[in-house]
Amino acid sequence: MNRRQFVGVLSAMAAARPLLAHGQQPIPLIGYLGSTSTDEPRHAAFRRGLAEHGFTEGRDFTIEFLWAHGQYDRLPPLVADFQRRGVTMIFASGNQAALAAKSANVAGPVVFVIGDDPVRLDLVSSLNRPLGNITGVTFYSAALVGKRLGLLHEMVPRDATIGLIANPTSPGYQEQLAEVRVSARTLGRSIDHFDARTPEELDQALAAIVQRHAGGFLYTTDPFFNAQRKRLVDFAARERLPAIFSGREYIEVGASIAYGSNIFDAFQQGGSYVGRILKGAKPADLPVLQPTKFELIFNLKSANALGMTFPPTLLALADEVIE
């Protein structure tokens, strides 16, 4: 064999090696379990986190998506479906999805992104040392519902009631209601509470808020309300009702004010954790990530269109004002 032939053989072997490797060991399959429905901006952030570690979808991993569409009793069968498919790991979006994966005793790694305290939910034993095969990111939105009521209090006449919408199927339902009631007593506010777990019940709750002449409204943290965010924002605009929302993704669909951590950062961090585990890290060695900053955002363009103004004392607290 002459030198040119030898170089040609080596080049052919090098080109074939990745294909042989994939043939011998299939690329990882990530099972993405969603409590509600598809949400492309969050998916994009999740993929950015994987890209931080050099992972490209289709070449280095594939994703299968399964959605409960707000029917949380569907989550355990969806987890079982992933187990039958032999997924490499499960990425759980939302409290209920993470709890379903934990209850199923999934053998492989589980990475979650949730809005509540994972220790209180018994997902992990501690934030710093999760132990077991589960870790992830919390954006702690549920803990901020009392703070949101305090901000809304500044926008609503003192003698008006405030509507509160809550999902009774949420794991943090009772805790969030208790927090709102404590804050309401401190502020001297009257709260009208309405439950909603389906789009139909949400329509009924919103209609009741109008019928009872509430001066404004807010909602507890739950994936169901995130999935309905355009409906909530449009309702507030249509009725010209002061309302406070739970993060930047509401501002992006027209909300005037939101307070919370950056949900897109949380999903990017979740994707990064998936990438680290694919590279060999153990979930037990990855502490649960927590937000380092909470954002108070005002969208004056949306507010002006509604004829809404904010007290200067409130605007002075803003982290971002969109003109």
Distance of CA 33 to the CA centre of its chain: 12
CATH at residue 37: 3.40.50.2300
Position 86 in a domain:
yes
Residue 185 CB contacts under 8 Å (≥ 6 apart), including other chains: none
Q: Is residue 181 within 8 Å of 191, Cβ to Cβ?
A: yes
Q: Is residue 49 within 8 Å of 70, Cβ to Cβ?
A: no
pLDDT at 5: 44
Q: Greater confidence, 315 or 142?
A: 315
Percent of the chain with pLDDT over 90: 81
Between CA 46 and CA 114 the distance in angstroms is 14
- Residue 71's alpha-carbon distances to 83, 99, 167, 197, 224, in angstroms, are 20, 14, 12, 9, 9
Strand pairing class (89-93; 134-138): unpaired
Identify the DSSP state of 240.
T
pLDDT by residue (tens digit) across 178-213? Answer: 999 999 999 999 999 999 999 999 999 999 999 999
Per the prediction, the chain carries an average pLDDT of 90
- Residue 1's alpha-carbon distances to 11, 15, 136, 223, in angstroms, are 15, 20, 55, 65
Distance of CA 188 to the CA centre of its chain: 31
Position 27 in a domain:
yes
pLDDT by residue (tens digit) across 31-71? Answer: 999 998 888 889 999 999 999 999 999 999 999 999 999 89
**Domain co-membership, 181 together with 311:** yes
Position 238 in a domain:
yes
At 159 the three-state DSSP class reads coil
Residue 290 CB contacts under 8 Å (≥ 6 apart), including other chains: 127, 137, 138, 140
**Domain co-membership, 187 together with 223:** yes
**Domain co-membership, 274 together with 308:** no
Q: Is the pLDDT of residue 248 over 70?
A: yes
pLDDT at 13: 36
**Domain co-membership, 115 together with 148:** no
Q: Is residue 38 within 8 Å of 262, Cβ to Cβ?
A: no
**Domain co-membership, 77 together with 121:** yes
Phi then psi dihedrals of residue 10, to 5 deg = -60, -40
Position 290 in a domain:
no
- Residue 157's alpha-carbon distances to 190, 212, 311, in angstroms, are 11, 15, 12
**Domain co-membership, 185 together with 215:** yes
Q: Identify the domain containing residue 63 by its residue range.
A: 3-139+263-285
**Domain co-membership, 268 together with 204:** no
Identify the DSSP state of 289.
B
Position 314 in a domain:
yes
Mean pLDDT of 309-319: 92
User: pTM (2 decimals)?
Assistant: 0.86
Q: CA Rg, the chain, in Å? A: 23
Say how many domains are in the chain. 2
**Domain co-membership, 86 together with 177:** no
**Domain co-membership, 160 together with 252:** yes
pLDDT at 25: 63
**Domain co-membership, 162 together with 204:** yes
**Domain co-membership, 239 together with 180:** yes
Position 271 in a domain:
yes
Q: What pLDDT band is residue 143 in, cutting at 50, 70 and 90? A: confident
At 144 the three-state DSSP class reads helix
Between CA 303 and CA 209 the distance in angstroms is 20
Q: Which long-range contacts (CB under 8 A, 24 or more apart) does 243-249 make?
A: 243/152, 243/216, 243/217, 243/218, 244/148, 244/151, 244/152, 244/155, 244/216, 244/218, 246/141, 246/144, 246/148, 246/219, 246/221, 247/139, 247/141, 247/295, 248/295, 248/297, 249/41
**Domain co-membership, 126 together with 147:** no
Mean pLDDT of 238-257: 94
